[in-house]
Amino acid sequence: MNTNNHVTDWTWLKLLCSTIIATVALEHSQIDLLISKLFYLNGQWLLEKGAQPYALIFYDAPKALLILFAIYLMTVLAIKYRTPLNADFSLNHSKRSRYILPLSVREISYLLIVIIIVPTTIATLKSVTHVSCPNHLMLFGGDMPYLDLWQSIVAKTPAKCFPAAHASAGFSLYGLAFLPTWRKYRYKIFEAVTALGWTMGLYKMLFGDHFFNHTLVSMLLSLTIACALAHIFFKRFDENKNSQFHPTKPTLADTQKR
């Protein structure tokens, strides 16, 4: 995940390949079914859908906080754009500076785009994959047969459960791990976001709204998008930084001219 030396040039492609491999491999295995059976005992799921306070803690609250965070980023971005360059110093030392992230306009723009694009992309994929949730299947008390990804697309079932959209809201915060300003906290951020996304994903799995694969693919795809956008936004930043620490060595011709 390190953007130094343009690692993101290829990392996003490797992540995309991993996403495709995970999708194909787990769709044609029994792993998803075996894991979901752990949450379905005696004809009932471990958690009832919509049961409180779990729905508030693991569904409503995270979505609301993410929306508020996006609004906050847009507000900070507007403030930074409206602030003249010669007023930067006064802004940094004003009382309101404590409420403003110490990030550049480029970093805030990147983070905001990641938070918007990741859930939007995954929600769009859900509308075209037509994959059923576990609780829709006859295996788990539903009325639909188990179909793999390709069969679901061809059949165009009314289901929209793959990849996991709710977990993607948490995974969209992977963008924080690619910010150059917070580079030294990168792996801690990665661990925290992974834990958040899987907590949100596991909540949905407990009442059969998603298979394990749905959350895994959502995580890998979110990371792919965040990494690819980081490459687009911060490649020039890395090039300038590397040129400062690794100046070009003088050639023989340059030496002779001196």
Rounded CA-CA distance 176/166 in Å is 18
- Whether the predicted pLDDT of 93 surpasses 70: no
Task: Report which of 61, 163, 69, 182 is spatially closest to residue 118, judged by C-alpha positions.
Answer: 163
Residue 238 pLDDT class (50, 70, 90 cuts): low
Rounded CA-CA distance 101/99 in Å is 7
Residue 239 pLDDT class (50, 70, 90 cuts): low
Residue 125 pLDDT class (50, 70, 90 cuts): very high
- Cα of 103 vs its chain's centroid, Å: 20
- Given the structure tokens 């609250």, which residue do they identify? 61
Report CA torsion sign: 221, 226, 232, 235: negative
Tell me the pLDDT tens digit for each residue of 30-56: 899 999 999 999 999 999 999 999 999
Tell me the pLDDT tens digit for each residue of 133-160: 999 999 999 999 999 899 999 999 899 9
Of 79-83, 153-157, 237-241, give the lowest mean pLDDT range: 237-241
The CA-CA-CA angle for residues 199, 203, 205, to 5°, reads 115
Single-letter amino acid code for the residue at 236: R
105-129 and 61-82 helices, crossing angle to 10°: 140
Tell me the pLDDT tens digit for each residue of 172-186: 999 999 999 999 999
Radius of gyration, alpha carbons of the chain: 23
> Going by C-beta distance under 8 Å and a sequence separation of 6 or more, which residues neighbour residue 1?
7, 11, 177, 178, 186, 187, 190, 227
Predicted pLDDT of residue 141: 93
Average pLDDT in the 67-84 region?
A: 89
212-245 and 8-27 helices, crossing angle to 10°: 170
